[in-house]
Structures are given as C-alpha cells and as structure tokens.
Amino acid sequence: SPPLPIYTQEEVAKHHSSAKGVWVTYKGGVYDITEFVSLHPGGDKILLAAGGALEPFWALYAVHNQEHVLEMLSQYKVGELREEDRTLDSSSLDPYAKDPPRHPVLRVNSQKPFNAEPPTEILTDNFITPSAFFFKRNHLPVPQVDPSTYQLKIQGLPGGTVSLSLEDLKSRFPKYIVTATLQCAGNRRSEMNQVKQVKGLNWGIAAISNATWAGPRLRDVLLYAGYKSGGKAQHVHFEGLDKDVTGTSYGASIPLGKALSEEGDVILAYEMNGEDLPADHGFPVRVVVPGIVGARNVKWLDKIVLSEVESSSHWQQNDYKGFSPGTDWDTVDFKSAPAIQELPVQSAITWPAEGAVLDHSLGEVTVKGYAWSGGGREIVRVDVSLDGGKTWQVAKLQGREGEALDLSPPPGRAWAWKLWELSAPLPSGTQELEIICKAVDSSYNVQPDSMAPIWNLRGVLSNAWHRVKVKISE
C-alpha cells in the first residue's frame, strides 16, 4: 500500500471537534477517529484528546493498555506525524501530564487541575478515609518533587533563612500523629448553585474527608528555627511548589497564634494514613492545620514565612471569603471581608441517596452521615427529621471505630468528624420522605435551615440543613 501522508502537529491540532473532525496522534501515527467518538466505551471524554496525543490520556486510563484497543485504533490511521513534531506530543506540552494516576471511582469535577470527591455512598463507611478516596482539590499541576533534594525554607526569623531536608524533619523533631478532617470551603456548593448560580467547582457533599496525619509540630520547627516571642510577626505564610504559568505558587496564611499554640496541633505532615503522603495530597510535606479550612492546608510545602501581614496570595486575598447574598460580582470588594479560617458547623446525609426508593416491607430506615465543625469545636448532637422538619430524633454519634464516645478529644481539640446514624421505623401512610439532618457543636452553633439566606457569589460556607428526598415502595 502507498505510504500514508505526513502531517504536522499544527494540522492535526485543527481537527479538534466533531464539526472539524477528530484527529489524534499515537506513537507517531495520525488517526482520524471522528466516526469512533460515538462508539467509544469510555464516552465523550475521548474528545479531550482531540487534536493532540493519546499517550498521556492512556497513561491515566490504563484500561487502554490492551491488544484489542490498539487494533481498534489502527483501523483509523490516516497518516504519519512529521518527524520534528513527534517530541511535541502533549506529554511535553501538557503541564498536567505528570499528574499521578487516580482511582476511577472518584467523582471528577475537573480533570485539569484535578478535583474530585468520593462517591457519597462510600464516604462514611469508615472513620478514616482511605487516601485513594480522600477528596482531591488541586489548583495547579501536581509538582514533581525529589525527596532526596527537598528543602523546606523558613524565613522571617531573626537568624535569617533556615532550610530543613525531609530527613531533618523526620529525625530532629518528635513525630506527632493527628487525626483531622479537611473540608474544602466549597463543599456542598452544588446546593447553593440551585438557589442561584455561583462561580466555582460544583462540589457535592463529599469535598470533606478524614485522615491520620503525622509529622513534626510546626511549633517545634519554628522554635528550632529561632522563633522568639515579642517580634512583630502575626501571620505564618505557606507557599507550595505548585506553580502557574507565570511562576506564581499556591499560597495561604494562618494566624501565628494557631501555629505556635501547643493545643493547635498544626503539623508538617510527611505521612497520611501511615504512609508517605501521596502525590495528590502534598508529597513530600504539607501543613495540616486542624480545624481550619482546607485552603490553608498547603501541600507540596516549599516555604514558611513569618510576617506582620497576611499572605498576599490570590487565594488568601481574592478568594475563600464570605459575602452577603446581596453582593454580586459588580459590587464585591474582596478587601472588605476576612479570609476564611475556621469553618462553621456542618453535617450531611450520606445514606440514603437523593431519589432512593426504600422498601416498605423492611419497616425501618437507617440514615447515615457525617458531622464536623471548625476550630476544634466538637460535635455534640445531630438531629434527624424524617418528615421535612416537623419532628426530630437524635442520631447516634460514632467516634473512631471501636472508640467509646466518652473518650472524646480534649476540649477545643475535636479535629475529626463524627459519623452518625439513626435507625427509625418507616412512617406509614406516606410515599415520600424528606429526610433532614442538622448538627450542633460544642459552642451550641447550629446550621441555618436553608441556603438562600447564606448564598454568596463564590458558593463557600454552604452549611444549611441537608435535605434528601426518598420514596417508599409499597
């Protein structure tokens, strides 16, 4: 057969939609897969590769590493990629190409950067969330960090910059183990979106997870690096190794008092659930700031800076703040609101799911969920209603597996969520239930009953009563 035509990457890139045809490259070959798109067992995700290389996607979805997949592809070959363009596959162009593989069970809100939450029905099956299922919230590509040359820099202290290797962090300080829940400020944003459109990832109820973290206390590291009281610093900045195209890294800050407090339990974690931190969660070191919004728990930690002022990072100054429902994008003044630190009391129903059909003959329903509050405030009660809020019952709280609840954490240091459940007879004479949960924390803070009065343009702090409608079969 005659040799196939040679195409440039530029020509291939023009075929990037169903309208213009869908071309892809693979190992130097050019393929017109327009006809295959609708036949693809993996759905229209395949269009992400349109105009570019398949390799990085197939690295992500290893299911393609099979003979029959290659045979399928070979039917669509239309040409060869010009020699000079072969190095320009998207693995060298795509800043996300080196992101780690992820578990396919995750509900992906955004692929690049990677943002995903575990399916609701497995979220509360265990007090500790396995790392693979722990929600992932990245703003940028996952940086590649060599643990043998890693240096954490600490600046803003009288003695100048102090650098610590990973080995230093492991060997020079006592290792603390802290079980702490992280929640993204945007958890449950999708419910706020139903009131009125907000800007942000459409998180369900699972942008929250609970893990065991281990590493030195930030307090000990700061004292080692020469911190002395009486200085002017009031904030601790954290900078990540993840950078955007302009070279700006992810950053945030917390009050110095939280960092120094012996009861604050802020650690520089190098372990998550007993293993090295996974790439997505900040390998080799992240700061874990228990009780504080996820955004300040900076991953891939590069630098710690003590300062008189808060971090100037976009994510500290112009994002992760709460506003009135009356504030819109034309009137918002980000300087007028404080950065979110401690989060408000939260709870949600993980079982049954919205729209589930409960079998009437079982006679009973077991409702399950999680509850958590920021600032170390312990969850003291969860109320559950099966009739849209007319009557309420108190759920049974569960701490760690096998742990009696009277072994609760010291006051003000309840960093981990409480799972809860309530078993109750199915009401008769009704075909639909509206199940509601609401939690109370140790300061007697409660959740608002609806989203509209707490609606805000970024869809953060979404903590109204969680409502789930289910049907009862006859």
Applying CB under 6 A, the residues found at the interface with ligand MTE are 134-140, 182, 184, 240, 242, 250, 280-281, 294-295, 297-300
Of 207, 205, 203, 198, nearest to 455 by C-alpha is 198
* Residue 387: DSSP 8-state: B
Nearer to Mo ion, 139 or 235 (CB): 139
Nearer to ligand MTE, 8 or 307 (CB): 307
- Say whether 360 is catalytic: no
Look at residue 143 and give the partner it binds from ligand HEM, ligand MTE, Mo ion, none, a contact being a CB closer than 5 to 8 Å depending on partner kind: none
137 binds Mo ion (CB under 5 A): yes
Catalytic pick from 176, 270, 320, 370? Answer: 320
Q: What are phi and psi of 122, to 5 degrees?
A: -105, -10
Could you tell me which residues are beta bridge partners of residue 218? none
Q: Which stretch binds ligand HEM (CB under 6 A): 63-71, 181-189, 302-310, 365-373?
A: 63-71
* Residue 44: DSSP 8-state: G
Contact 134, 118 (CB under 8 A): yes
Question: Rounded distance, CA 172 to CA 176, Å?
Answer: 13
Segment holding 169, helix H or strand E: helix 166-171
Question: Rounded distance, CA 68 to CA 44, Å?
Answer: 20
User: How many binding residues for ligand HEM (CB under 6 A)?
Assistant: 19
Question: Rounded distance, CA 397 to CA 194, Å?
Answer: 30
Q: Which amino acid is at 360?
A: H
Q: How far is the CB of 278 from ligand MTE (least distance, A)?
A: 9
User: How many binding residues for Mo ion (CB under 5 A)?
Assistant: 4
- Say whether 320 is catalytic: yes
295 binds Mo ion (CB under 5 A): yes
Nearer to ligand HEM, 60 or 285 (CB): 60
- Say whether 137 is catalytic: yes
Nearer to Mo ion, 54 or 142 (CB): 142
Q: How far is the CB of 84 from ligand MTE (least distance, A)?
A: 35
Q: How far is the CB of 307 from ligand MTE (least distance, A)?
A: 18
Binding to ligand HEM, residues 3-32 (CB under 6 A)? 24
351 binds ligand HEM (CB under 6 A): no
72, 337, 356, 358: which one contacts ligand HEM (CB under 6 A)?
72
Question: Rounded distance, CA 275 to CA 173, Å?
Answer: 18
Look at residue 181 and give the partner it binds from Mo ion, ligand HEM, ligand MTE, none, a contact being a CB closer than 5 to 8 Å depending on partner kind: none
Look at residue 33 and give the partner it binds from Mo ion, ligand MTE, ligand HEM, none, a contact being a CB closer than 5 to 8 Å depending on partner kind: ligand HEM
Q: Which amino acid is at 422?
A: L
Of 291, 284, 201, nearest to 241 by C-alpha is 284
Question: Rounded distance, CA 450 to CA 459, Å?
Answer: 14
Contact 395, 349 (CB under 8 A): no
4, 6, 62, 63: which one contacts ligand HEM (CB under 6 A)?
63
Look at residue 455 and give the partner it binds from ligand MTE, Mo ion, ligand HEM, none, a contact being a CB closer than 5 to 8 Å depending on partner kind: none
Cα distances (Å, whole numbers) of residue 24 to 81, 232, 347: 10, 57, 45
Q: How far is the CB of 273 from ligand MTE (least distance, A)?
A: 12
- Say whether 189 is catalytic: no
Nearer to ligand MTE, 184 or 214 (CB): 184
Contact 197, 173 (CB under 8 A): no
Catalytic pick from 15, 184, 227, 250? Answer: 184
- Say whether 235 is catalytic: no
End-to-end, the C-alpha distance of the chain in Å comes to 67
* Burial class, 111, CB count within 10 angstroms (exposed 0-12 / middle 13-18 / buried 19+): middle
45 binds ligand HEM (CB under 6 A): yes
Catalytic pick from 7, 31, 76, 137? Answer: 137
Could you tell me which residues are beta bridge partners of residue 381? 440
Question: Rounded distance, CA 380 to CA 96, Å?
Answer: 43
294 binds Mo ion (CB under 5 A): yes
Q: What angle do CA 73, 75, 80 make, to 5 degrees?
A: 80
184 binds Mo ion (CB under 5 A): yes
Task: Provide the binding-site residues for Mo ion, judged by CB under 5 A.
Answer: 137, 184, 294-295
Catalytic residue list: 40, 64, 137, 184, 320
